[in-house]
Amino acid sequence: MIGFEISINGREPIVAASDYFVFADLTFGCSSGRIKIKGSDGLHYLTWLTEKLEEGDRVLIKMVVTDKVSPVLTIEDCDRNEMKRRYEQLKMELQGKGLI
């Protein structure tokens, strides 16, 4: 699997990988920063890391090919019917605004 190896301030890295997708979300603003590492295995939403960042923190993200993945913090079910309903709702809203 292809994924991320993430180390913050030299700590032991977290490895997040999936056959579907994994993403790293780094956000900074309003005097606070945050990193989230999430993904999916097709049936579930997975969270490996969610952490507050401070100015000066060092974040190293490396792309890796691996079969060894760190344990996930949270697992949430993917409700495909709910996703389709939300998609249709957003599509109607955007069409109503003339954006699509």
pLDDT by residue (tens digit) across 2-38? 999 999 999 999 999 998 999 999 988 776 789 999 9
d(CA 88, CA 38): 24
How much is the pTM? 0.71
Q: pLDDT: is 86 or 80 the higher one?
A: 86
Question: Over pLDDT 70: what percentage of the chain?
Answer: 99
Q: Is 17 exposed, middle or buried (0-12, 13-18, 19+ CB in 10 A)?
A: buried
Mean pLDDT of 83-97: 92
- Statement: residue 96 has pLDDT above 90: yes
Among 56, 13, 63, CA closest to 33 = 56
Residue 98: Cβ-neighbour burial (10 angstroms; 0-12, 13-18, 19+): exposed
Asked if residue 13 lies in contact with residue 37, where contact means CB atoms within 8 angstroms, the answer is: no
Q: What are the structure tokens assigned to 80, written together?
A: 């495909």
What mean pLDDT value characterizes the chain?
91
**What pLDDT sits at residue 31?**
67
